[in-house]
Every structure is written in structure tokens, then in C-alpha cells.
Amino acid sequence: MSVEEDTANHGRLLATVRGPQDVKRMSAEQLDILAAEIRDFLIAKVSRTGGHIGPNLGVVELTLALHRVFDSPRDRLLFDTGHQGYVHKIVTGRQAGFDRLRQRGGLSGYPNQAESEHDLIENSHASTALSYADGLAKAYALRGESRAVVAVVGDGALTGGMCWEALNNIATAGNPLVIVVNDNGRSYSPTIGGLADHLSSLRLNPGYEKVLDTVKEALGSTPLVGRPMYEVLHAVKKGIKDAVAPQAMFEDLGIKYVGPVDGHDIAAVESALRAAKQFGGPVIVHAVTRKGYGYRPAEEDEADCLHGPGGAFDVETGQLVAAPSVKWTHVFADELVAVADERPDVVGITAAMAEPTGIAKLARKYPERVYDVGIAEQHAATSAAGLALGGLHPVVAVYATFLNRAFDQVLLDVAMHKLPVTFVLDRAGITGPDGPSHYGIWDMSVFGVVPGLRIAAPRDAATLREELREAVGVDDGPTVVRFPTGSVAADLPALRRVGPVDVLAEAARTDVLLVAVGAFGHLGMEVAARVAEQGYGVTVVDPRWVRPVPAELVELAARHRLVVTVEDGVRVGGVGDALAQAMRDADVRVPLRDLGVPADWHPHGTRAQILADLGLTAQDVARDVTGWISGLDGGSVEPVRLTADDTAAKN
């Protein structure tokens, strides 16, 4: 075939797919062609928008088989974490949306109810799908509805304790439920832990390929009818156990097991799924896949198989197109290594996020001093408490949104014992394309109530390095250092320091004290300049350590006519709330207005777009501040927007 003919034919089958029924009608040969076309489509589209390319290339055949065996949306397909749902979106008629994947107004990078009736759960935090599935299966059984429930869960998610809580309950209930373990040996990075070693022993066994063929043949020749059929499968599985590796961990829970099957063999996966569907109880189908399958740069990316490039990348190399820049994560990683060089008691912990959080750099230099606990934030926090009890200073690096899962452990296991543990929260605030469940907007409110916990919000690279060192210098309680995603702006030097508070700008008039939290320091400076044009003086300060509220910040507030706080966390329980309470306690009767993120679910888009939507731009803030301070003079007051939080407070 000529190049011209090949180009003309490219994507022809994919263009005919408008829904799952179109996939059901295809022959085996057509399905193989379709799988190749889907991979080409994903690489072409995601290379322009960024997104989770590696996980989706690994589940093409698996997803096609799921939609051939089950009848979505009547049958419910649940994808744990959801970042491997792109193929599901393609099959369910959303191809046209991929030009704007993860962009404002475009397709979400995760399942989304607003997009399709085929999507049910939207939460992108790992290890939750089995609990959703358990509840759904129970509900359908109680209502007398004959609807299949299928949960696709990665081997990485199985390192999370919530999965095992769900499995225990699923086995006890005994309802029909199919659990597909997508075993690629990786989550965000190489999967770790005892379970990972157990599954890895299966993949690496010399008899593994033979076993895959045996299972495929057995499933293909077995009548798919009820329990008698399954006993044959059960016997095949027993043979696998003896020949390859012990699989008793699932069977001991009371859940039947089918596999391992080659996750890139559509016929094999389809046969296993049909067998599981007919059984009538909980079944695990173990599918072995390769993350990034079919795309050389992803397969050769040993660190994370091109898990989720944050922007456009070159198709030939897999490298990001954007020019390299200094990232917040890089600054943290470099400084942590420098601190560890000086302090042998400093150790690192992460929850399956070594590369994304930068702690992998410490692991490469001091592998014996870094612990990746898997997707287990609760365990990470309490294990850190144990390390601290043992005389070490642990630095726990996670995304801000994920530490919410460990609130009880931070509160009681760490803080109540006054243990020196530093939690470094990457991706704090509005993070952009990954949407609401990835926004790190809750941490200052959630953890602000923890007694003895200190929270730092650096504004630039210099203060990140400084505040990290200050945090690991604390020996009588836990600390948090939070920072956003993306590139770090130029360092913003302070004019002077009052206690822990940096004064960034001052004017002859003391009309407004503008408290700019963290990376909003630069915004604060621009706001001050704009307000000065209206004849008002603005003092811009960065509190650096926002919890507990510094007494010096309250004293500064008392010297001004108006206090305005601006932060990238939720307003309820945020820095503004905390400062207002501290001012009341000190009988400082200066009006305070707080600007921040409404406690709501905000759509995906770039950080700049979402902040603009929320009125957190220099122009918007300057207009608000000018209106408020002129109102104190009795002048005309600019209309003040009511946010979702304001509306809720009035109702």
C-alpha cells in the first residue's frame, strides 16, 4: 500500500464508532485495526493538549473488550482514578472533544457525568472505585435490578487500604460484581509494596507466557453457562497457582479469580470477562498490560511511561515542547537534597508520587532514606509519626489534595504527639487542567484547625528554600509547606521583616494592609500600584507562616484603615478567617475583607483562566480594594461581587 493510500485509510474504522454498539459489531480483525487507530488518535491528540497518555495506551484492548461484553450505560463501568478513561470516552462517542481535552470548556481528563450518561463517578483519587462498586451492586440487588457492575482498578490502586476494605465487604455481600485488575506494574511510578512484588512474580515467571495461552484456550473452549462453567475456570486457575505463583490472597477473601490474561489480547480479555459476567458473584479478572503500550517513547520512559505530560509533547521523542523553566517542584527537590546532605536525620516519604513531587531526587542520592509507601496517605502520615518517634525528621511529600485523606492521622497520630514531621504539599491552590478533585484548595482550611500545626506558604524560590529549612528545624510539632504547580516567578525581595512577616511594599499613607498569601505576592504588588493610582496607600505583606496567625500581622493590621487578604485556598476557614478571628481576639476593630476561592467545585482550565473566573486577578482585586476603601471615606462604592461563599452565608 502506498503512503497516500495508507493515509487515506487511516482512522476509517474509528470514524464509524459512535457508541459501544459499533464496537460490538466488529470482527476480530477489525478490532485489531481499531485498536491501532485508537492509539494513533490518542498520540496525535494528547501530544497537542497534554494528558495521561501512558495509562490510556495500556488499556485500549481492555476497554474495547469491556464495551463488547457489557452494555453501558445500563451496566456500570467504573474506572478507578479515571485517568485511564480516554478510550472509554472515544468508544462512547466523544472523539470530537479531544481537540480540547483538559482545556477550558472541553473534555475533562477524567470521567464526567455532564459529558455522558456512560460516566458515573468523577472523583480522580485512587482506590475508591471498589467501594463505589460495592454500594452499587448492593443497591441493584436490593432494588431487584439485573445490572452488571464492573470496576477497573490498577495494581497501583491496590496498594491503597481502601481497596482492601472494599474487597472484604464485596466478598461478604457476595453480589455479582466484576473487578478488573489492570496490572501494569506501575501507578504514577513503579508500583511498590508486598502486593506489587506478588504480582510482579507472576509477570516475571518463565512460565507466564505459556499460562496466558493456556487460559486463553481454556476460556475460548468453555461453554459460558453459570457455575458449572466456572468450576472449569476455577480448576484452570488452580493450575495457574501451582505453576506460576500463589494467588490465594484473592481466593482467601472469598472472591473468585480469573487470570492472568494478556490485557492486549482482545479475544482473551473478552472471554475472561464473559466468564466473569456469567458467574453470579464477585470475580476478579487479572489482566496484565503494559503502560504506554505501542508508543516507543512511553515504553522507554522507565520513570513513569509518559504517565501524564503536563503540556504538548513531541510525538517522535515524547519530550515536552515548552521551553524548560524552573518549577516549584524542582526548587523543593534541590533544596531537600541540600538539607539532607547536612542532616542525616532527614528522611523522605511519598505515596506513589516520587517523581511528580520531586522526592525521587532524594531517593536517587539516598535510597535508604526514602520510603514510597504506595497509594496510602494515611499510612504515610502515621509511619512518619513512627519515624519521628524514632529520632528522625520525616518530610512527607504529596499533592495537597491527597493529604486530605490523612486528616485524622495528622491530627491525632502526629500533632497530638507534637511530633516533628514536615508535610510538603505540591500542587496547592488552583492547579488547572486536572479539575476539581485535583485542586489543592482545602488544605489551609482543613489543617488549619490542627493544634500546634504550622503552615508556611512561600511566595517564590528563595522563600521556598528558606521556609523548608525553617520547617525541618521545628522539633516540637508538625509543619506544612505548601506551593502551587508550574513555573516559579522571579524572586520578590522584602523591604523588611517584622517578626516572621515580610513587608513587600509600603506607602506614605496607611490606608490598606494587603495580605498576599504565598504565590500571590506578585499579584499583591500589582494591586498596590493600581490602587495607588487612585490616591490610596497600600502596604503589601507576605505572612510567610500563615498558621498560627503571627501576632506581628495583627499589629500591622491595627495600623491600617482596611485589611484585605487574598489567597488561593477556600475562604471558609482560610487565612482571612483566621486573621479576622485573631483581630477580634486582640480587639483590633479594623474592617477586613477576604478574597479567595469559593468552597465549590470549579471546572478544569488553566490556572490563569480559573483565577480570572474567580475574580482573583490584579485588575479585579484592585477594583474591589479601591471600592472598599473609598466606601470608608463615604465615596461611591464599586459593586462588590457575591461569591458562592457569600451567598451561602446570607442564606
Please give the order of strands across the beta sheet that includes 501-505.
Answer: 496-498, 501-505, 538-542, 512-516, 562-570, 592-597
Greatest Cα pair distance in the chain: 88
Q: Which three cell numbers stand for residue 175?
A: 453480589
**124 annotated among ligand-binding-site residues:** yes
Residues 6+ apart with CB under 8 A from 290: 58, 184, 264, 299
CB atoms under 10 Å from CB of 176, counted, come to 19
Residue in 639, 644, 638, 637 with CA at minimum distance from that of residue 614? 644
Cβ(35)–Cβ(56) under 8 Å? no
Contact yes or no for 373/156 (Cβ under 8 A):
no
Distance CA 82, CA 61 (A): 17
Whether 112 has a binding-site annotation, put simply, is: no
Q: Is 156 annotated as a binding residue?
A: yes
Q: Rounded to whole angstroms, how far apart are CA atoms 468 and 483?
A: 11
Residue in 291, 482, 607, 623 annotated catalytic = 291
The answer to whether 230 touches 256, Cβ cutoff 8 Å, is yes
Pairing type for strands 454-456 and 545-547 reads antiparallel
- 377 noted as active-site residue: yes
Write down the residue that cell numbers 461453554 correspond to. Answer: 223
| 155 is annotated as contributing to ligand binding | yes
Residue pair 275/286 in contact by the 8 Å Cβ criterion = no
The answer to whether the annotation marks 184 as part of a ligand binding site is yes
Grid coordinates of 165: 476494605
Please tell me the total number of residues recorded for the chain in this structure. Answer: 651
Cβ-contact 410, 478 below 8 angstroms: yes
Q: How many CB atoms lie within 10 A of CB 592?
A: 18
Handedness of CA 31, 33, 34, 38 (dihedral sign): positive
Q: Does residue 73 have a cis bond before it (omega within 30 degrees)?
A: yes
| Residue 512, beta-bridge partner list | 538, 562
Tell me which amino acid residue 93 is. Answer: G
Q: Is the peptide bond before 260 cis (omega within 30 degrees of 0)?
A: yes
Is 209 flagged in the annotation as binding?
Answer: no
Do the beta carbons of residue 569 and residue 543 sit within 8 Å? no
Residue type, 611: L
Alpha carbon separation from 615 to 93, 310, 618 (Å, rounded): 35, 25, 9
Residue 120 to residue 137: CA distance in whole angstroms: 14
**Pick the catalytic residue: 76, 94, 405, 530?**
405
Determine if residue 242 is left, alpha or beta; phi over 0 gives left, psi from -120 to 50 gives alpha, anything else beta.
Answer: alpha
280 is in an annotated binding site: no
d(CA 205, CA 260): 12
Does the annotation flag 146 for ligand binding? no
576 marked ligand binding residue: no
CB within 8 A of 640, min separation 6: which ones?
624, 627, 628
Which listed residue (355, 377, 467, 470) is catalytic? 377
Give catalytic status of residue 405 as yes or no. Answer: yes
All three cell numbers of 639 = 459593586
What secondary structure, in 3-state letters, does 447-491 show?
A: HHHCCCCEEECCCCHHHHHHHHHHHHCCCCCCEEEECCCCECCCC
Count CA within 13 A, CB hemisphere, residue 246. Answer: 6
Annotated binding site: 83, 124-126, 155-157, 184, 295, 377
Active-site residues, by number, are 291, 377, 405
Binding-site positions for thiamine diphosphate read 83, 124-126, 156-157, 184, 295, 377
Which residues are part of a known binding site for Mg(2+)? 155, 184
